[in-house]
Amino acid sequence: MTDMTGTRCGFVALIGEPNAGKSTLLNRMVGAKVSIVTHKVQTTRARIRGVALEGPAQIVFVDTPGLFRPRRRLDRAMVAAAWGGAADADVVVLLVEAHRGLTAGVAAILDTLRERLAPGRPVALAINKIDRVKSKALLALSAEMNAAYPFAETFMISAEKGHGVDDLRRWLATRMPAGPWLYPEDQIADLPMRMIAAEMTREKLTLRLHQELPYQLTVETEAWEEKKDGSAVIHQVVYVARDGHKGIVLGRRGETIKAVSQAARAEIEDFLGRPVHLFLQVKVRPGWLEEAERYSEMGLDFSDGNG
């Protein structure tokens, strides 16, 4: 048992524009893939907690959906979830892409931070993807960002390669309030396994499908059965909004869904460390983007999508 005197524990919200690298950073901090990552925008849909330890501190990282101007119900619910994560955090880390700099989207986030965040709540700047730019550009961007907002600290990182991530974690640890740890020492995520497994399948679908289609689908774990031999039998449903989408998800002779199923199964097996039998079913459900139950399955608040 760890000596629990002098422990610290708190929440760190990772916010930023879609594709900034928030989920990549969360996984890097936790040391395991608990949040899905793709090269496409709007991958993360809900708040995902990952737990990291740094000396006497337990840091609960909260990955959030990207912040952008929401148009549709799902957009609005995602953006509301992200701001909710920021409001509840002890420290906010704003991720900005080094090669894109202070975009209109980043400026809009800074405006909202000024309006919404409790005074005195520290916000750290993490300039991410530094592997993509020259160091001279980084200094200019850091100066520009710090002129625009009073950041508590600035870090230059590559979430993907790991540069600067340890420094950031150490600094965050010192900012955590004193208090007992919220999670057992060996816990790395706070998301039901059924949902993690559904997210892994959604990642494989997102990577394989083009354009708007990934936005128009959602994956739910319907049944999970533990077998005596230690394996798990998992049934998932892929909900699509249109008949035509079903054919695309299945692919010619079911090739697409088969490949997705194999890739997802491998990843779920890897995460669980035991054999998995994964069964995917595609269902057409035209109104799913307006169904409260689909939102709660994703971990979102349906009413946040109103207005």
Q: Which residues bind ligand GTP (CB under 6 A)?
A: 16, 18-24, 37-39, 41-44, 65-66, 128-129, 131-132, 158-161
Residue nearest to ligand GTP (CB): 66
As a whole number of angstroms, the distance between CA 122 and CA 224 comes to: 41
**Token pair for residue 228?**
């005596």
What's the min distance (Å) between Cβ of 281 and ligand GTP? Answer: 26
Nearer to ligand GTP by Cβ, of 26 and 276: the residue is 26
State the binding partner of 18 from ligand GTP, Mg ion, none, CB within 5 to 8 A by kind.
ligand GTP
Angle between helix 255-272 and helix 193-208 axes, rounded to 10 deg: 140
124 binding partner (options Mg ion, ligand GTP, none; Cβ < 5 to 8 Å by kind): none
Closer residue to Mg ion (CB): 81 or 176: 81
Can you give the binding site for Mg ion, defined by CB under 5 A?
22-23, 43-44
Say how far apart CA 242 and CA 244 lie, in whole Å. 5
Instruction: Tell me how long the chain is.
Output: 307
DSSP 3-state assignment of 290?
helix
Minimum distance from CB of 116 to ligand GTP (Å)? 19
Q: Which is nearer to ligand GTP, 24 or 142 (CB)?
A: 24
CB of 14 to Mg ion, least distance (A): 9
State the nearest-atom distance from the C-beta of 48 to Mg ion, in Å. 8
* Residue 50 contacts which entry, ligand GTP, Mg ion, none (Cβ below 5-8 A, type-dependent): none
219: its two tokens? 């994956």
Nearer to ligand GTP, 159 or 249 (CB): 159
Q: What is the CA radius of gyration of the chain?
A: 20
DSSP conformational letter for 137: H
CB of 144 to Mg ion, least distance (A): 25
| Residue with Cβ nearer ligand GTP (39 or 228) | 39
Integer Cα distance of 12 and 19 in angstroms: 19
Which of 156, 246, 239, 200 minimizes the C-alpha distance to 43? 200
**Which burial class, exposed, middle or buried, applies to 54 when counting CB atoms under 10 A from its CB (0-12, 13-18, 19+)?**
middle
